[in-house]
Amino acid sequence: MKKLLGGARRRAALVGGAVVVLVAAGAGTWATDTWPFDGKDSYCWGAWKEDSGPGFLSGEALDEDNASRTSKETAPTPRQPRGRCTVALHSERFSSGGDKVVEKTEVTVDYGPAPESAARRMEWIGGYLGDRAMPLPDSLPGVSDGRSGLLVLPKGCDTHDGRPTAVTLDSTAESVYSDSTMPGDAGLGGSPSVARLLVAVANHAMEKAGCAPDTPLKVDSPVLTLSESRETFFTRACRIRGLELGKEAEDLAYQVGPVTRDLQSCSVRQVRGDGRYFDALMVAEPRLAALFDGATGSKAPARGWRGTGVFADTYKVVRADCAGRPFTVLMLAPSLHETRPYFAAFANAVARRVGCAPVAPVAPVAPGGSDR
């Protein structure tokens, strides 16, 4: 019996010693940031890692007093193909005058289909594809403006009713003072960084949802940048004939977005308050155009228009064929300000530029006049 007890004690001591060695080894690898414990947190289903590039993921983001970075996530699954992850930064400091300042940053990713309601979908599309958004490189069907982005996923991830699934990224940053709140930089690193963040999270999300393609998505090429800055003194918005805004232009500014065969946008904003006057958008890239599937009606929106479309209170959308490709034009917030046929002017100007027949009715040219 004593021999048995002694053997048991020796085995226990050996096991205990082995555990101590493993714990010590683990402590060493954690301290030196080597496998299997590299000491780095990961976010958004493992797609992003601490200190991987963007400022909001860096260690420096936690240098402020009482700074913290937290995350929440719900992963998509084959049975529930929706997901969301949020990375939030929070810190507190005191200004030179002794006032408390709270810094808040939040980066949110959503995985899921385009909204089902047509009105919500038009606003959703315009919110990502309009204004300062530029196309992603390497034929990726998506856009980014450096603060947000959208990437439409391959057809294998579409819903049963045919709506495409997309990954969207949004960010907010603000400094809250005792008497005011000031917007800030979320630390995404600009459009090239947003493109990489979108692709990384899309690949991980598709794996979770069970619809990942055989070859992961990737981004290698540079991201296009806006060729023009915001214009505040003008009469003709985005230099498009028919978008002459007259005296109203004194209080407006316009932004020319991309001007390609796949995407074109023109955004007009109030100078004060940054309120929307209108957003005009043309989409022809097939996967981006698929976002409009089922939401453009089954007949022409009005007499003389080509294709199918809907004229609603807050948006106008028309889809037509252009040399075998889908050609969709959208204008948001037309009923509030459109006292002239701005949508028709935009639609026909873009159609003419890409070599398509007019989409809107063409107004007769007065004798001796010109359509140029």
Write down the pLDDT at residue 15. Answer: 39
Q: In the chain, pLDDT over 70 holds for what percent of residues?
A: 85
The Cβ of residue 160 has, within 10 Å, a number of other Cβ atoms equal to 6
Q: pLDDT tens digits, residue range 198-223? A: 999 999 999 999 999 999 999 999 98
Task: Give mean pLDDT, residues 15-24.
Answer: 37
Task: Give mean pLDDT, residues 274-297.
Answer: 94
Which residues, at least 6 apart from 16, have a Cβ–Cβ distance to it below 8 Å?
A: none
DSSP summary character for residue 244 = B
- Residue 13 has which token pair? 């001591």
Q: pLDDT tens digits, residue range 65-100? A: 789 999 999 999 999 999 999 999 999 988 877 889
* Higher per-residue confidence, 206 vs 23: 206
- Is the CB of residue 135 less than 8 Å from the CB of residue 160? no
Q: In the chain, pLDDT over 90 holds for what percent of residues?
A: 72
**Buried (b) or exposed (e) across 234-259, using 16+ Cβ within 10 A?**
beebbebebbebeeebeebbbbbbbb
Chain mean position to CA 58: 21
SS3 113: strand
